[in-house]
Amino acid sequence: MDSPTLSSSVVKAVAATVGFDACGLAEATALTPEEFHLDEWIAHGFHADMHYMEQYRDLRTDPRVLHPGARTVISVLLGYKPSRRMEGPARIAQYAYGEDYHQRVKRMLYQFISSLRTHYPDFEARPCVDTAPISDKLWAARAGLGWIGRNTLLINPTLGSYCFIGELVTTSPADLYDKPIENRCGNCHACIDACPNKALTHSSINKLTHSTIPLLNARCCASYHTIENRAETLPPQIHLSGYAFGCDCCQLVCPYNQAAPARFTLTDERKAQLEALADADPATFKHFAKHSSLNRIRHSQWLRNQKQQET
């Protein structure tokens, strides 16, 4: 059975009705060396102990390996900027204020597929949200949804970098594919200057355009250490800036983020729950984290990260 040809305008309209803030379509061809800099990042050891990043290179570069017969990658964004920020001695990165984004975005992607089938009954796609080995940021950039900023995150002109990314990888071709947009960071280095551990001082050169490609050194990143680092103690030189899970330092100063609209209402009740976690026992922490991105760490890491603040 032939896969239906998708109307770009119909796909984007359906994405909006599902609740996504932006949608773009890119042809499912392999990422080019000018786009894909994972090999250099790993060669520098900037992935620290995240050895899983060394795996599935072919899937990360070519969606046709991930999903045989793929013709189109449909990228979607969902903004998460909160209406206000939590306070207290154990702050949490803003993306983790609400429900675990893996669960929320995956649920919306399945709804997206179901809604598209009302227009294309034979439509088939594989939904991805930060779990399958696909280069989310690069596909969103190729689909014209933003550019890779100096903080190494996708920056959307409206949402800034406060956005979750998801994809539908489908065997259906599209009538029109979006084009990448230009990098609009200009001479701004606010994110680089704001990082307390200088994790954003490294870069690569795009040999085709001679432009600078930012590289994050995870070994110096507070977000990496509070989440991915499983050691009993953290390097004493790492500054967490009040964060016990993740870090927002490079995002808070971005002009695009400061101008971005709020997309998540942090209620009094939720704010109080987040701030009370500083004193949570293992059972309370586990219960709260079950449907939160906090499920990425154990209670022992949560305590370790808070202890780091005292050193």
Residues 6 or more apart whose Cβ sits within 8 Å of residue 112? 14, 15, 18, 20, 76, 127, 168
Known catalytic membership, residue 2: no
φ/ψ of residue 263, rounded to 5: -125, -5
Q: Of 206, 215, 249, which is closest to residue 46 (Cα–Cα)? A: 215
Confirm if 161 and 251 have CB atoms less than 8 A apart. yes
- In angstroms, the CA 13 to CA 285 distance is 40
- In angstroms, the CA 140 to CA 132 distance is 15
DSSP string, 30-87: PPPTTT--HHHHHHTTTTTT-GGGGS-HHHHH-HHHHSTT--EEEEEEEE--BSS---
Burial bucket for residue 138 (CB in 10 Å: 0-12, 13-18, 19+): buried
Point out the catalytic residue in the list 21, 130, 175, 178.
130
Give catalytic residue positions. 130
